[in-house]
Amino acid sequence: MGAKGHRVLACATKHLDTVPLSLTLQTIASELTFCGIVGMVDPPCAEVRASIAECHQAGIDAKMITGDHASTAVAIARELGIITELLHPKHYSRTGTQLAAMSEHELDDVAQRVSVFACVSPEQKLRLVAALQRKGHVVAMTGDGVNDAPALRAADIGVAMGRSGTDVAKEAAPMVLTDDNFSTIVSAVEEGRTVYENLLKFILWTIPTNAAEGLIIVMAVAAGSALPVEPVQILWINMTTAVILGLPLAFEAAEDNVMRQPPRRTGEPLFTRELLMRTLFVTLLLVTAGYGVFLYANGAGYSIEASRTAASNTFVVIEIFYLFNCRTLVSPYAAPITSNMTVAYGVALMIVLQALFMYVPVMNVLFRTAPIPLSMWAIIFSCGAIAYIAVAIEKSIRWRYASGTSITMN
């Protein structure tokens, strides 16, 4: 019955001629009449198996640590997909008795390789958490009982059950799961990954744009030429685009592959080599296009104010096009506009503000701008389209490289 996932309770009776003042183990430990056994089934929620499979796709290894009998634990773990028939039976589980006889080195190996630990004591739960941490894993521990409290406290993320959990467990854990549903933890992982990716998208968008704005001034000063963009115009660009264009990236929905990526390595910097190369690439595009448009306009006979206005608009237009590149981190395919309409609203508002920036006399005085003809707009939008295509090609190259390289999930 245990092998079928039942929790088995043995029942017996004993006849006493007189009722003692207190019942002790010694009083009832002998002369029992066996009545039978009762098998109790506490089936897991239907969505948990799918959540376990999603964990495996995301490179998250789910392990069962329980006080139940080993055969019961293995049966439930097989039902949930924690273990599969591909494993050799000796890799299914370990018991508390076996763990107690292991050295620290042996425990480190077993903690990584084995998925089910049965009949374990509170001290052994604590040892398993420590063993996984020694191997560099970020350990999330769930529990509801008093005996889970030490492991909940020692884990990197302790999650206590809010409904069935004891007060001791909830006080020991920094996080309380109010619905006692494992699938909620998986959803939280997905949400956390999405928030992190959206943060990266904003950083990836804002750093090259700001770097290019500063670099173009430095280049002009170093060359002893006229500034292609006035400092007050750069101030205008920063004040408007950072909020109107950059902020909508925080509302991006989760990408389709967010739960099919391996976990980030602990200690991995926020700004990786790939992000640095992208930043340098886009900075170069912005500086080249902005300076090039200024020199072209100035050489074509435009006033210095109109030339600088054309250069500042080149920055804004390229930032708009690059914004759509940044809606996905790696995939070269554009995210559908309907998945985040705040991006469309931001772009529309930015276009209106730039029109005011150029064609309203008061703005011309405040920001030293001048109207530019439609022919210049064609050049500016061509620069934006070229920048978009160039970044898309760079993303396609990295996408093909990542797709053709096997990734080991820890």
Domain architecture of the chain: domains with CATH: 48-185 (3.40.50.1000), 193-403 (1.20.1110.10)
The reported pTM is 0.80
DSSP string of 251-284? Answer: GPPPPTTTTSSPPPPTT--SS-HHHHHHHHHHHH
Report which of 145, 139, 157, 131 is spatially closest to residue 68, judged by C-alpha positions. 145
How far is 170 from 152, CA to CA, in rounded Å?
9
DSSP state of 44: P
pLDDT of residue 36: 96
How far is 342 from 60, CA to CA, in rounded Å?
33
User: Considering Cα of 321, then 200, then 343, then 309, what sign does the dihedral take?
Assistant: negative
Take residue 152 and report the two structure tokens written for it. Answer: 């909940």
pLDDT of residue 16: 82
Report which of 150, 107, 161 is spatially closest to residue 125, judged by C-alpha positions. 150
How far is 269 from 160, CA to CA, in rounded Å?
30
pLDDT of residue 406: 31
Task: Count other Cβ atoms within 10 Å, centred on residue 158.
Answer: 25
CB 215 within 8 A of CB 198: no
pLDDT of residue 41: 85
How far is 45 from 183, CA to CA, in rounded Å?
9
Distance of CA 362 to the CA centre of its chain: 46
CB 368 within 8 A of CB 305: yes
Calculate the alpha carbon distances from 9 to 1, 4, 40, 171 in Å.
Answer: 10, 14, 8, 31
Q: Which residues contact 60 (CB under 8 A, 6 or more apart)?
A: 189, 263
pLDDT of residue 410: 28
Take residue 247 and report the two structure tokens written for it. Answer: 């902020």
Q: Which stretches of the chain drop beneath a pLDDT of 70? A: 85-91, 401-410
Report which of 110, 91, 112 is spatially closest to residue 102, judged by C-alpha positions. 110
How far is 213 from 240, CA to CA, in rounded Å?
14
Report which of 4, 152, 130, 124 is spatially closest to residue 66, judged by C-alpha positions. 124
Q: Which residues contact 281 (CB under 8 A, 6 or more apart)?
A: 208, 390, 391, 394
Give the tens place of pLDDT for each residue, 236-276: 999 999 899 999 999 998 888 888 888 888 778 877 888 88
Q: Which residues contact 23 (CB under 8 A, 6 or more apart)?
A: none
Burial of residue 18, with CB atoms counted within 10 A of its CB: 0-12 exposed, 13-18 middle, 19 or more buried: exposed
pLDDT of residue 90: 55
CB 119 within 8 A of CB 68: yes
pLDDT of residue 85: 62
